[in-house]
Structure 1
Amino acid sequence: MMRSLFSGVAGLKTHQQKMDVIGNNIANVNTTAFKSTSTTFQDVMYQTMLNASGGTSTRGGVNARQIGLGVTTAANKISISTQGSSEATGDGLDLRLVDAQSTNFFIVSDGSQNLFTRAGSFYVDGNGNLAMTSTGYLVQGWQVDPETKAIKRDTVSALKVMSDTNKTSDPETTTQAKATGIIDSNDSNVTSTSGHVMSLTFYDNLGYAYTAKFAVKSGENKDAEGKLIETGSKSAKANNGFTIELESITADSQTDSEGNPIDLLEKYIQSKVSGSVTSGDRIKYTADLFGTENGKSVDSFKLDASQYTIEKDSSGNNVITRGTGANKLSISVASVTAALTASSGASTVVTLTGSGTPSSYSVQVSKLFSGLGSAAKNYVTTDDKGATTALEGLKASFDESTQSLKISTKAAAYDLFFNSSDGTFSDIDSRGADGTTLTNRGTSVKLDVSKLGDQFDKAGINIDFSTLLNYDNGGSSTAGMDRGTVADASSGAGKKIGQMTGLTIQDDGQIYASYSNGNTELLGQIPVARFANASGLESVGSNCYKTTLNSGSFDGIGVDVSSDGSKMNSGYLEMSNVDLAQEFTQMITTQRGFQANSRIITVSDTMLEELTNLKR
């Protein structure tokens, strides 16, 4: 009689435990990445009343008589490999693990040990570390090698995604620019004294922005001193010529990062590039003229709250005056242009002279009659030792010591423009009978900004004018300037200092920072942990698990989540995998089992009561 009572009590206990598990499952129906648990029962032991006996030739065998002594819980099995549904959050730091073949876990640390979780709700804490939103446990991952900028797959550590070193992205100095659009000869701006102004914003390698203003003006071809260049066939184009002048370079910010004034006076550069334009043709430049340290030229510009102007003193020298007249700087002639006309087969030597130390020269050779044959592009260079380089229909040599250029021509028409600053022929034109003009290096110029400071590229900024056209556009010019090359707007465009604008986590767990200057930088990678028996992990609360002797160990490194086809979905979380329909069904059967076991106790009690009443 007492055995039934004990069995009933055991039944009540086990069903109560199962009800506890069901209650926990239902309570966590909306818990992020919660894994439901199921309970199974097993019988406890049996009391053998009679052992089994074997049969004989005259009698059969007898089975053992046993009485069971109740029930107990066999196992609480967690459905760790069953994924929950996906919940969209829109937060880029929320991650959902999508398993392909293995069950994956994020690796976090509570400061003393590594724990594992499927709940990918993360945020960046006050120290810049990626952490669990609910607990603050630090997400562990792989760092970036500072030299190779690649992921180092070694022992995991805290992912510091925001620090003083990665809150900003390095700037890039501008090395390429271009002028595009149309110059209309009838544009009132082009024919005015101020010209059609084109602005170019560029950057140094510290991220500071500067603006250079170029003025396109109509007029005759002139040398660096403003004198008309008599160039034979060139003079016929004088009325259709254009001058592109660099008027000013100003810093967009008046102070640097430490609040100190930016003063570009001693580093200022002005360049004038003259050329001619014919209807439908592209602009051709006759020289690349740039100031040297002792050869600067400015018109008027304002910087550092002071006004600078150019003046002539009593001796005719150029003087830059700042404000009330202090800080005067003498200016010498920066460039000299000479002209030479030679007849067929003749050789002539021209000597270039000018006051001060010239920084570049423009020598023009023109035939007095039209050339024959098709137009062609040709490239010619000479070295500073006077070596001669052959050119189709043209030979030339330059003597650096005498600053003279000897040119021999044949029966073809050429305009040759020599730049002594780099020892090259900067422009070679070959004219055919149809009058078409072809240019090579004449389609681009170099803006030398190296004197503005060491923060600039010493190679300067190459400005491509090859797509700048001249034709009737209803009296309106659309010409403008921008950074980058014609083929690639981002190539050589330069960038300002970039401020971090966001974090992006890719499917493989790699973390990238986005910056305001368009840069992206790899900050680290989130690996995952995998176990031989994920169901053997022990729940420690807060959606976390720890390893046990039966789960398998963690090697401290982890694996790439994509190694088996798994991935991380950014902007999503894994929901609970609790199935309410199944839980309610289990609840009903558990309730009935509990009721039945309680009846065992009440009936046994009634029987005991009848037994005690026998003495009456």
Structure 2
Amino acid sequence: MLRSMYSGISGMRNFQTKLDVVGNNIANVNTYGFKKGRVTFQDMMSQTLSGASGAQGNRGGINPKQVGLGATIATIDIIDTQSGLQTTGRSLDLALEGDGYFLVKIGDEHYYTRDGKFGLDPATGAIVNGAGLKVQAYKVDEKGERSRDYGDIMLNPNATLPAKKTENVTLTGNLSKDATEGSEIVEQIKVVDEKGVEHKIEVTFTKKGNGWTMTTPALPADPPAQPVELGSVEFDNNGKLTTTNPQVWKIPLPPAEGETTPRVVDIKPDVSALTGKEGASTPLVKPDGNKEGKLTSFSVGASGEISGVYSNGEVVTVGILAIAKFSNPSGLMRTGGNLLQESVNSGTPNIGIAGDGRGTIAASSLEMSNVDLSEEFTEMIVAQRGFQANTRIITTSDEILQELVNLKR
């Protein structure tokens, strides 16, 4: 039987596979996070009619004589190029800009995806994808420390942030050495008492010698009482802090509800970041503590920080999304549902947070498919014509065989 007939068959099979891949790409043109496929061909083995021979005497060498036996599929790649982003306005719609994959889990199985259509499981508050697989993230404790291991992340829409008494205050910025004697700067801070009630307190900085004194108004009295001294700070000629006194602020507060005796709240100040250099005075006084608040919304930052926004103005980070990166993303296995799985040729996942060589996260957006319809239609035409050309090889070979049969009548 003619070799050309079987070569034509191999070509038809290959172009049929190419059409299958093109069809799948076009079918997923609107699939969020989808990465298109690409087929490449390579020649099959060749039949050697005669081998090569080297030069001998006055005669040059002779090249080998080989007849190819058709083509076969070389690769079917995943083309993981970045695609455009579509803004949705939904807080749990996330897109990755750059390398990386979201990490989701069901049972002990890990999967990877670029599709960031996430939501909340109403039963547990876990962040899940459309198929219910749980999104993995690093937890963050009250001190802002990130956990070493990632796991399921929960968001309780009905969460309440308990009240916390003010115990510390941090002072930063500059208190100008150029200010005139007696100059005053007034900063207003919020102090939360032991019952969770918030009080607005004024702190006045007054220039005195090489430093500044700090006072706060006394409680209303008859006759008016003198301002309460909180302490003082002094700086050297280079603007560096030299002395501070006292170590604790004693803030007067009005009587608690149902009581008549005024109170004094002890707050420990941290003035180590204050400077006394030339220029404008820009002191910033930031106390800790907060009144009770209810969760009103949550947001996701560029590095994957999942933060809850509470009615008392506090923003608390509860977790940081885990992002995986592979040395060979094209080696990942498609498992359906916009999910990918690690293979022996993808490399092991390098898991960490976004922005650490793994791209950044765009919140309230989704990554569109990277399928280009104009390119796919062109590839479709190429595959169609290639398929037709291979069928001509078969029909031509058939005509030659018919002529052979007709030699004897």
TM over 0.5: yes
Cα drift, residue 615 of structure 1: 2.6
**Structure 2 counterpart of 1:151, one-letter code:** R
3-state DSSP of counterpart to 1:597: helix
Equivalence map 1:245-260=2 (5 Å): none
2:253 and 2:262 in contact (8 A); partners too:
no
- Tell me the equivalent position of 1:129: 126
User: Could you say if the C-alpha distance between residues 544 and 378 of structure 1 is closer, same or farther in structure 2, counting changes exceeding 3 Å?
Assistant: closer
Q: Which residue, out of 146, 149, 161, partners 1:155?
A: 149
Is 1:602 aligned with 2:395?
A: yes
Cα drift, residue 83 of structure 1: 0.2
Is 1:613 aligned with 2:369?
A: no
Q: TM-score, normalising length from structure 2?
A: 0.72
- Tell me the equivalent position of 1:535: 330
1:511 and 1:524 in contact (8 A); partners too:
yes
- Tell me the equivalent position of 2:381: 588
Percent identity for Structure 1 against Structure 2: 37
- Tell me the equivalent position of 2:255: 448
Cα drift, residue 516 of structure 1: 1.3
3-state DSSP of counterpart to 1:459: strand
Cα drift, residue 543 of structure 1: 1.4
Cα drift, residue 203 of structure 1: 8.1
Cα drift, residue 489 of structure 1: 11
1:53 and 1:63 in contact (8 A); partners too:
yes
Cα drift, residue 490 of structure 1: 9.3
> Rg larger in 1 or in 2?
1
Mapped partners of 1:580, 1:457: distance in 2: 75
User: Could you say if the C-alpha distance between residues 449 and 595 of structure 1 is closer, same or farther in structure 2, counting changes exceeding 3 Å?
Assistant: same
Mapped partners of 1:84, 1:204: distance in 2: 52
Cα drift, residue 61 of structure 1: 3.4
User: Could you say if the C-alpha distance between residues 445 and 517 of structure 1 is closer, same or farther in structure 2, counting changes exceeding 3 Å?
Assistant: closer
- Tell me the equivalent position of 2:342: 547
- Tell me the equivalent position of 2:208: none
Mapped partners of 2:156, 2:265: distance in 1: 35
- Tell me the equivalent position of 1:116: 112
- Tell me the equivalent position of 2:239: none
Mapped partners of 2:7, 2:324: distance in 1: 44
Q: Which residue, out of 105, 113, 118, partners 2:101?
A: 105
User: Could you say if the C-alpha distance between residues 498 and 603 of structure 1 is closer, same or farther in structure 2, counting changes exceeding 3 Å?
Assistant: same
Is 1:563 aligned with 2:368?
A: no
In the TM superposition, what whole-angstrom CA distance separates every residue of 1:40-99 from its partner, at most 9, and x where no partner exists?
11110111122233343254433322111111011112111x101011010111111111
3-state DSSP of counterpart to 1:561: coil
- Tell me the equivalent position of 1:93: 92
User: Could you say if the C-alpha distance between residues 272 and 24 of structure 1 is closer, same or farther in structure 2, counting changes exceeding 3 Å?
Assistant: closer
Equivalence map 1:458-477=2 (5 Å): 459=264
3-state DSSP of counterpart to 1:540: strand
2:22 and 2:376 in contact (8 A); partners too:
yes
- Tell me the equivalent position of 1:474: none
2:323 and 2:358 in contact (8 A); partners too:
no
Q: TM-score, normalising length from structure 1?
A: 0.49
User: Could you say if the C-alpha distance between residues 457 and 144 of structure 1 is closer, same or farther in structure 2, counting changes exceeding 3 Å?
Assistant: farther
User: Could you say if the C-alpha distance between residues 379 and 544 of structure 1 is closer, same or farther in structure 2, counting changes exceeding 3 Å?
Assistant: closer
RMSD: 3.4
- Tell me the equivalent position of 2:320: 525
Equivalence map 1:32-71=2 (5 Å): 32-71=32-71
1:497 and 1:517 in contact (8 A); partners too:
yes
2:50 and 2:66 in contact (8 A); partners too:
yes
Cα drift, residue 603 of structure 1: 1.3
Cα drift, residue 150 of structure 1: 2.0
1:449 and 1:460 in contact (8 A); partners too:
no
3-state DSSP of counterpart to 1:562: coil
3-state DSSP of counterpart to 1:156: strand
3-state DSSP of counterpart to 1:584: helix
Which residues of structure 2 form unaligned runs of 5+? 168-190, 200-218, 230-250, 267-282
Cα drift, residue 507 of structure 1: 0.7
Cα drift, residue 161 of structure 1: 2.1
**Structure 1 counterpart of 2:136, one-letter code:** Q
Mapped partners of 1:509, 1:553: distance in 2: 22
Mapped partners of 1:535, 1:159: distance in 2: 29
User: Could you say if the C-alpha distance between residues 60 and 540 of structure 1 is closer, same or farther in structure 2, counting changes exceeding 3 Å?
Assistant: same
Cα drift, residue 110 of structure 1: 2.0
- Tell me the equivalent position of 2:270: none
3-state DSSP of counterpart to 1:532: coil
3-state DSSP of counterpart to 1:595: helix
Equivalence map 1:265-414=2 (5 Å): 273-275=221-223, 284=224
User: Could you say if the C-alpha distance between residues 272 and 501 of structure 1 is closer, same or farther in structure 2, counting changes exceeding 3 Å?
Assistant: closer
- Tell me the equivalent position of 1:513: 308
Q: Which runs of 4+ in 1 moved over 4 A?
A: 172-175, 202-210, 377-380, 450-453, 487-492
User: Could you say if the C-alpha distance between residues 452 and 62 of structure 1 is closer, same or farther in structure 2, counting changes exceeding 3 Å?
Assistant: same
